[in-house]
Structure 1
Amino acid sequence: MSAAASARDALRRLRELLSALNIWGLGYVLLGIGLATVAAWPLYAAPRALIVGIVGGLLGMLVAVVARVLRWNLLMSALVAAGVYVVAAAPLAVPSSLTSIPAFFLGVRDAVLGVALGWKQILTLNPPLGEYQAVLVPLMVVMLFGSFAATLLVLEGGRRAAWAVAVVSTMSVFGIAFGLIGTSSAITLWGIALPAPREWLLGISVFLAGLVWLIGRARLRRAQALRIVAAQNVTRSAAPVWLGIRRHLLSGVLLIVALVAGVAVVPAAAQWSDRTVLRDDVEPMVVVQRQISPLSTYRSWFTTSMLDEPVVSISGDTGDLERIRIATLDAYDGEDFHISPDDRFSRLPRTAAPDAGRLSLEFTVGEAYRGIWVPAPAGLAQAPTFEGARAEKLADGFHVDDEGDTAITIAETSDEREGLEPGDRYGVLVDAPDETPTLTDVRGGDSLLDSEAYPALAEWATMQEQPRTGAGYLEVIDRLRARGYLSHALLEDEQATGWISALKSAGGYSFAPTYAGHSAARIEELFTSLVDQERRAGADADPKMLVAAVGDDEQFAVAAALLAELWGLESRVVLGARLPAAEEVPGIPACDTACTGANMTAWVEVRSSGGDWTAVDVTPQSAMLPSTITEGEQLPEHPTVPEQLRSEALDPPQAQSDSRNTDAPPEEGGSDTLASLLAVARVVGLSLLALLLLVLPLLVVVVAKNIRQRTRRLAGDPESRLVGAWEELVDVYADDERPTPWFGTRVQAAVAVDREAATRLAELVDQGVFAAHPPTEADAEAAWTIVDEERAAIAERRTRWQNVRSHLRLRSFLARVAPRRARASSDHRLAVGTLAVAGAGAGRQEEDA
C-alpha cells in the first residue's frame, strides 16, 4: 500500500473515531479523570497532584486514541503507554528531577521503581503527602494506565466496552483507599445527618457518571442501528408511545431510588464499622515491639557514667516550648508501660516551610543516648532534616505515631542495631505551642481501672475524699508528690554519688533506699506505705508525718496515670526532659542547650475536655524524709527530723525484689534470628498467597476445560462420546475466535467454519447419530482423533502466547449462554435444521418398524 493510501486509510479511521458514540465514551473517560483527581486531593493536598492527575490521564487517553487510529495490537499499545510513562513520569511526578541532568535520571529511576515500591511509600507517610520524594508516582500510574485502559474499552464498540465503568470507578477508588483514615465532617441534609459527605458525593458522582454513560451509549447504538436499517430501505413497525414513556419513567424511578438509598444507607453504614484504609495495615511496629520500655531503664540515666553525659544538645531558640519528648507510652499491662500494639507509625512528609509561627531547632545526639526514639518537641511540622553520613538512612527510617507525639527512626546503626547513635544530627521545624489547656474544668467519669487489682491505690484515693473532677485529681497528685520522697537507687554506693551530691547541694538531702520497677506489685507497695502511714498518723497529721513513699519518676508517673484512670480520665506516660519555659520542678532540673542524664524525667499527660493533652509533673519532693510511725505511738507536738538518716541498706530477698538491671539485657541472638526468619516467611507466604489468588481464576478456567473434555471423552456410550467430540471441536473453534453458528445442522455449521476437519467430523457424527444402527467404539475413537488433530493443527499455527490466551479464554463457556437468544432471533434459520433432524428421525422410526 502506498503512503498516500495509508494516509487516506488513517484519515478515514480518524473520522470513524470521531463518531458520536466514541465522543460520548471519551467524554465519560474525561469525567472519570476529573473525579479520580478530586478523590486523590486530600491524600496529596498539593497543586502538582492536580497536574499529575489531569495530564497523566490525558496522556493515557492520547496513547489509546493513537493506537486505535493506527490499529496497533494490545501489546504494541501497552509498550507505547509504558514508554510515555517513563518519559513523562519524572518531570511530572518527581519534581526534584528538574533540578539537574543527574537528578533527572534519578527521577526516572524513582518513577520506574515507584511502580512497585511507591504504594508502600504512600502508605507509610502521614497525609497530606504534598510533593515529597516520589509519592506522586502511584497517582501517575493510576491515571495514565487507567485512562489508557478505559479509552481502549470505550472505543471497542462491543460488549467489552461496558468494562470501562469498572476501570473508571477503580481510578476514583485509589484516592479513597489510600487516603485519610478519617472521613469528612458530617453535615445535615433535609434533617438527615449525613456522615462522610465528601466520600458519599464522590461515590454517587462516579455511579451516576457510569449510569448516564451506559444509558447514553445504548441510545446512540440503537440510533446507529436504526440509521443502518433505514439506509437498507427496511420498514419496521413503530413502537407504542407508552413503551418509551414507561422506559423513561422506570429509569427515573431507579435513579431516585438509588439516590434515596444512598442517603439512607450511608449514615447507618458509617455506624456499622470503622473506616478502614490500606494504610491501617502498614506499620514499623515489629521494631517498636522489640524495644524494652524506656521507662523500665529510667534509672540508668542517674548512674555515674550517664548522669553528666549529654543525651542531646539543642541549638536554636526554644521559645515557649516546654518539653522535649523521647517516648509517649500509652499502654500498661501490669508489668510495664509501653507503646500500644494498636498504635500506628507512619512517615511524615517534608513539605512545610518556616514562618512566624514555627520554631527551627538543631539537635545533636550525645554520648549518653542511642536507640530508635528520636528526641523532639511535640508538633513537628515536617520530617526532620538529618545530616551526616547516615542522613539518607535516618530519613528513610523516620516515622511518627498518629498524634505526632512519638518519633522513631529504624535506620540500621554501625553495630547492626536500629535508631540514633552518638554524633547523629538533625534539624526540626516545630509549630509554636498553643496555650496549655487546664484540667480544672474536666469532669471525671466511670473508673477505667480495675479497682480490685489495685486495692491499696483505690483505698488511698478514697481516703483523700476528693471529687471526681480535674481539680480533685490535681489535688490528689499534689498530695502524692508531697507524701513521696525522691530516690533513684537501692544502695548509696559509687553509682549514686552523683545525683545524691546534686540534691544535697540544692538544699540538703538524705538518702533513702528504693526499688526500681513499675509493675503493679511495685505500685501497690508504694500506695500500701501511704495508706499505712496515714492510718497511723491520722488524716489531720502534720504533712511531714504523712511522707512514706520512696521512689522516683518511674513509679510516680505510673501511679499518677493509674489514678487518672481511677478518676475516669484518659492518661499516658511521657519520658523526656523539661526546657526553661516549663515550670520548675525541684529534684529534676530543666535543660537549655544540653540535656544530660540528670535532666531526664517522666510525667503524665491527661486528656482535657477539649481533647488535648495536659502535662502533669509527678516528681516527688526531696526535702522531707519519710517518718516511721509505730502503731499506737503518740506523736510529739513539735516533731524533729534528723539531719542525716543513719541506716544500713540490706539486700532484700530475691523473691521480693522488683528491681531491674539498668543495663540493657543481653541480646538473644536465637530469638532475633527466629523472629527475622518468621517475618521473612510471613512476607513470602503472603506474597505467594496473593499470587495464588491472582492466578486462581486462571487455574479454575484450565481445570474446568480439562474436566469438560474428560467428561465428553469418557461418556458412557459411543453415541454420547461422538456428540461430545463435536461439542469439543465447537469449543476449540470458539476459543480460537472462530465461532460456530448455533443454527442449522452440523454440516451447515461446518461449512460456515470452513475447516476440512469440521466437515469430516460433522459428517461422521451425523452418520453415527442418524444411522439405522447405533455408532460403534471405532466411530467414537475416530471422532476424537479428528478433534485432537485439529486442536494440534490450530496450536501449531499460533504463537505460544496465543495458545496460552486460547487456554484461558472463556468464549467456549460464554457461547453456550447465547444459543437460546440466537435461536430466538433466527427461527427461520432453525427451521431448516429442525426439519432435517425431524426427517432423519422419522426415517429411522420407519426402518425400525
Structure 2
Amino acid sequence: MSEKTPKASRSAPAPRLPRGEVSTATWRDLAVVSVLSALGIWGLAPAFSDNGYLLAGLGGLLVGTAAGYLSHLFRLNAFFTGLSAIVLYFMLGSALAMPGYALFAVLPTLTTLRGLALGAVFGWTDLVTLSAPAGAPEYITVLPYAAAWLVGLVTTVLVLRWLPRHDRSPARLSVLLIGPTALYLLGILYGTSTPFLAGLRGISFAVLALLWLGWRRGGVTNASLQERRGLNRTKLLGSAIVAVAAILVAAVAGSILIPPPESRFVLREEVVPPFDPQDYPSPLSGFRKYTKDLGETDLFSVTGLAASDRVRLAVMDSYDGRLWDVSGAEDQTDGSGSFRLVGDELPAPALLESSGARSVSVSVSGYSGVWLPIVGYPETISLPTEPTDTSQDLRYNAETATTVITSGVDTGYEYSFTTEVQDAFSDQALSNVPVARVELPLVERVPDVVAAKAAEFAGAATTPIDQLRALEQALKINGFLSHGLASDSVPSRAGHGADRIEELFTRNQMIGDEEQFAAAFALMARSLGHPARVVMGFAPKDVKEGETVTVTGDDVTAWVEVPFQGVGWVAFSPTPDEKEIPQDQNPKPKTEPQPQVRQPPRAEKQDDDLLTEVDINDSEEDEKNEDAFALPLWVWILGGALGASLLLYLVPLLVIAAIKRRRMRLRRTAATADARAAGAWDELLDRYAEVGYVLPEIGTRRMFAADLGSQVETEAAQANGTAERADRPGGLATLTRLAHGTDEAVFSGRNLPEKRIDELWQTSVESSTGAASAVGWWRRQLSRFRVHTGRTMTDRLTAPGRGTRSGHKGQRKKTAE
C-alpha cells in the first residue's frame, strides 16, 4: 500500500500554545489589522467638527481588542465574551467618546451612559442628516467608538481564537479584512462629497493588506534552509513590485480613477431630512393671530439687537394659490425646505455679505411654536440642556437662516447665538448688479392682475433694483394699512390667497397689512423673473443697543427678500405707513320704496366677524386618525428583517441536519455487520472533522485514535485550565476501544452480534458528543452547518466501488490474502 505524501505548499495550523500565550506571528496579525482599521476610522474626518471622533474611534478599537484578548485569556464562551465586552464598552466609553460629559472627564455619569446607548442605536441615522461637520448631539462621537469597538472585538476573537486552529489559507486570512474594510466603507458613506485623502488612504490600505496576505500565508513546511531563503527572496521581490505598482497607479492614474465630487455617493446626499415643514401650517397663515390676540402680549425678550435689526421667524418661497408656505423637503431647490440636524456650529449660507458677528440672547415668555426667533445668519448656537436637552431637536436651514426646534419652545426657554447680519447696500451700489441665480419652487394659480400691475408699477425701469424699488414705492404710496380690527376705520380681510390678492388690486383702495402687501410684492417680483421670498418676523420699536428689548405681538411684520449676485439677500418692505384711509367714493345706487314687510330678528354680528380666517388644509387629519392603530413602518421592516434572518438560519440548518441523519441511517443499516461497524467509525471521523479537529492524512484506526484523542484532551485542557483525564468521552481511551472494536469486526472474518455493533455505535455517538463539548460554543454552532465526507474527489473518480475510509478496504483484502 502506497502512502500519500503531504503537500509541500500546505501550511499547517500554528502549534498550540499554553493557555493565554500568544505567538509573535499572531501579535503581528493583530497589529496589521488594527492599523487597517485606524485608516478606516480616519476617513470619518470630514463628518465631524473636531478630532474628538479620532479619540473615540481609536479608543473603541482598543476597548474591543482588550475584550477579545480577555476572551482568549480566560477561554470565555460567546455569552460571557459579549457580556464582558459590553461592560468594558460602558465603563471606558465615557472617557473616550464623551469626556466633556463624564465626571472628571473619566468617570461615567447618567448622561454618558445614556449617550453611549443612544449613540450606538441612533447615531447611524443622526449622522447622515447632520450638516457636516457635525458637533452635536452630544452622543454623536459614540458612532465611531461603537463601530471601532465592534470591529476590534470580532477581529481580535478571530485572530486569537479562530485563525490559530486552521491553516493560513488566503480565504481565511481575507476574513480578517472584513472588519477594517467595513470601517473604510463607513468613512466613505458617512463622509462628504469631497474625498478625504482618498489616494493616500486607499493606497496605504491596499498595499498593507496585500503585503500582509503575501507574507502571512506561510511557507513550505518541509523545505530545506536554502529553499526557504529562495522563497523569502521571491516574497521580498514580489512585495517590492506590489509597492512600486501601487505608487505608480496612484501617481499616474489617480486623477482618472478617483470620481469627481458630483458623482461621489454619500449617504447624507441620499437621505431625506426627518423634519418636513409641510407637516406644520404656514407661519404666514397665522399672521393675524399676533395682531388680534397677542398684540399686547410679551412674546420674548432679546439682548444684543441693533436699531435696524429684524427678528426672523420663518421664510416662505412656495405659493399654491392659497398661501405662501415653506417648501417641502422633497423639493430639490435652493429653497426653504432643506432643514438638517446640526450641532453647535451652524453652516454658512451661500449668499452673505457681512462686516462682522455679534452675540444675541433670547428669553421666551409668551411665544410658543417650533420656529425659533433668530437675528441675521447665526454661526453658533447654544441651547438649554436643563431640564431637557433640546440640542438633538435642532434643525437649521443655512440658505434661509431659519431654525426649528421640533419639540417646540415655550415659556422660560432661553438660548443664545453668535450671528452675522446682511450688510446694507445703496441702490446706486446695486444699480449694475444682477439678481443671483437661485432655484425656487414655482408659484401657481397667481391672478392675472398681478402681472398686469407689476408691469404697470415697474414702468420704464430696466435694472432689477430699479424695478423692485418701483414696485415697493407703488405699494407704499398707493396702499393703506389696516389690520382688520374693530378699531380700524376700514375693515381688511385676512389671508393672502388668490382671491384676496385679486381683491387687493381691484378695489378702489389697496387696503391690507404686512401679510397682504408682502405676499403681493413677492408675486409681482416673481412675474418679472426675480426670485423673491416672503419673510415673517418681528420689527421691535425703540431699540437701544446694549439693552434688552421686549417683543410683543404688535411688532409682527413681513417683508420680501431678493438675492443679488455677490451681495446676498436684499430686504424690501412694501407695507405703507399708517395714514387715514379715505372713504369709498363710489356712488351708492338709489333705492326705490318697497312695501313694508315684517322682517325676522337679525342676529347681532360683531365687527370682528368681518374677518375671514385662512383656509388651512387639515384633510390629512382623518387619514392620521385612521392610521392611529396601524403598525409603524419600522415595525414591519424590523419584523421582516428578523423573519428573513431566522429563515436564513433555520432552513440551511434543517437541510444539513436531514443530510446528516440520512448519512447515519445508511451506515447503521448497511447490508453486512462489518460494514455497519466500519460505519460507526466513519461517522465518528466525520463528526470530529465537522467540529474542527484535523484528521491525519493516512494511518490505521489506532493511529487515528491516538491523534484525535490527543487533540480532544488538549482542547479540554485549554478550556478548563487543567490536565484532562484520558478516559473522558471522546478522549484517547474511548477512541482506542472503538478502534479495536471496529478492527475486530472488519478483520476477524466473522460476524459480530448485533448487540456488539450497537455498543460500537453508542461509543461512537458518545465520543463525538464529548469531543464537541471540549471545544468552544462558536465551533459547535459552526459544526451544525458542516457536512464532512471522508472521500476526496480523486477517490470518487478512481475508486471502483464504495469502500471505507483510510484504506480499510485494501487492508481487508490484504488480510484475506
| Counterpart amino acid of residue 183 in structure 2 | M
Give yes or no for the alignment of 1:218 onto 2:173: no
**Helix, strand or coil for the counterpart of 2:56?**
helix
Q: Answer yes or no: is the 8 Å Cα contact 1:444–1:567 preserved in 2.
A: no
Residue 576 of structure 1: CA displacement? 0.6
Q: Per the alignment, do residues 321 and 760 of structure 1 end up closer, same or farther by CA in structure 2, a change over 3 Å counting?
A: farther
Per the TM alignment, residue 176 of structure 1 is displaced from its structure 2 partner at its CA by 4.2
Report what 1:661 is aligned to: 613
Instruction: Give me the whole-angstrom Cα distance separating, in 2, the residues matched to 1:52 and 1:475.
Output: 58
Answer yes or no: is 1:293 the counterpart of 2:282. yes
Partner residue in 1 for 2:374 = 376
Give the equivalent residue in structure 2 for 1:812: 786
Q: Is the 8 A contact 2:494 2:614 kept in 1?
A: no
- Residues 323-365 of structure 1 show CA distances to partners (whole Å, capped at 9, x for unaligned) of 112222233333222232213444443479xxx9654444333
Structure of greater relative contact order (alpha carbons < 8 Å, 6+ residues apart):
2
Opposite residue 283 of structure 1, the aligned amino acid is: P
Q: Distance in 1 between matches of 2:308 and 2:184?
A: 42
User: Deviation per CA, 1:57-116, whole angstroms, max 9, x where unpaired?
Assistant: 334344445655666555554444333322211122222222499973543443345433
Q: Which residue of 2 aligns with 1:310?
A: 298
Do 1:114 and 1:138's aligned partners in 2 also have CA atoms closer than 8 Å? yes
1:736 maps to which of 678, 682, 691: 691
1:600 aligns with 2:556: yes
* 3-state DSSP of counterpart to 1:13: coil
Deviations 1:155-208 (A, max 9, x none): 5353433233221132234444444xx53xxxxxxxxxxxx2x33x33x44543
Shift of the 704–628 alpha-carbon distance from structure 1 to 2, 3 Å rule, reads farther
Question: Which of residues 174, 181, 189 is equivalent to 1:169?
Answer: 181
User: How far off is 1:221 after superposition?
Assistant: 3.4
- Say if 2:458 is the partner of 1:460: no
Aligned-residue offset at 1:426:
0.5
Contact 2:135 2:342 in 1 (8 A): no
Q: Where in structure 2 are the equivalents of 1:101-250 lying within 5 Å?
A: 104=109, 106-120=111-125, 122=127, 126-130=131-135, 133-154=138-159, 156=163, 158=168, 159-179=171-191, 182-183=192-193, 196=194, 198-199=195-196, 201-202=197-198, 204-221=199-216, 224-226=218-220, 229-230=223-224
The change in CA–CA distance for 1:481 and 1:144 in structure 2 (over 3 A counts) is: same
Normalising by structure 1, report the TM-score: 0.66
Q: How much does 1:274 deviate?
A: 6.6
- Aligned with 1:687 (options 614, 635, 638): 638
Shift of the 164–333 alpha-carbon distance from structure 1 to 2, 3 Å rule, reads farther
Check conservation: 1:447, 1:566, Cα contact below 8 A: no
SS in 2 for 1:297: helix
Q: Do structure 1's residue 442 and structure 2's residue 434 form an aligned pair?
A: yes
Cα 1:706–1:798 change in 2 (3 A) is: closer
Question: 1:298 Cα deviation (Å)?
Answer: 1.0
CA contact (8 A) 1:444 1:470 kept: no
Which residue identity lines up with residue 23 of structure 1 in the other structure? R
* 2:414 counterpart (426, 430, 442): 426
Letter in structure 1 aligned against 2:207: V
CA distance in 1, matches of 2:639, 2:690: 29
**Cα 1:731–1:618, aligned 2, differ >3 Å: closer, same or farther?**
farther
Give me the whole-angstrom Cα distance separating, in 2, the residues matched to 1:581 and 1:135. 43
Greater helix fraction, Structure 1 or Structure 2:
1
Structure 1 stretch 594-603 or stretch 744-753: which is displaced more? 744-753
Residue 575 of structure 2 is matched in structure 1 by: 619
Asked if the contact 2:304–2:359 (Cα under 8 Å) also holds between the matched residues in 1, the reply is: yes
Residue among 328, 338, 351 paired with 1:341: 328
Partner of 2:494: 516
Could you tell me whether the CA contact under 8 Å between 1:300 and 1:662 is conserved in 2?
A: no
CA apart distance, 1:236: 9.1
Is the Cα–Cα contact under 8 Å of residues 317 and 532 in structure 2 kept in the other structure?
A: yes
Alignment partners' CA distance in 1, 2:532 and 2:284: 15
What's the % identity of the aligned pairs? 21
The 2-side partners of 1:689 and 1:247 are apart by 47
TM-score by length of 2: 0.68
CA RMSD of aligned residues (A): 5.7
Q: Distance in 2 between matches of 1:407 and 1:161?
A: 51
Aligned counterparts of 1:609 and 1:784: Cα–Cα separation in 2: 93
Q: Secondary structure at the match of 2:384?
A: strand
Deviations 1:678-716 (A, max 9, x none): 5x622322332343455554345336536867999999x
Contact 1:744 1:832 in 2 (8 A): no
Q: Distance in 2 between matches of 1:792 and 1:523?
A: 91
Structure 1 stretches lacking a partner, 5+ long: 1-7, 184-195, 412-418, 490-494, 501-510, 531-546, 584-590, 632-649, 652-656, 768-778, 824-828, 843-849
| CA 404–238 in structure 1, closer or farther in 2 if over 3 Å, else same | same
CA distance, structure 2, for counterparts of residue 134 and residue 266 of structure 1: 33
Query: 1:240-279 residue pairs with structure 2 within 5 A?
Result: 263-267=255-259, 270-272=261-263, 275-277=266-268
Counterpart residue identity of residue 338, structure 1 = D
Instruction: Give the distance between the partners of 2:570 and 2:741, measured in 1 at CA.
Output: 87
On the 8 A contact 1:114/1:134 being kept in 2, the answer is yes
Match for residue 3 of structure 2?
none
The amino acid across from 2:219 in the alignment is A
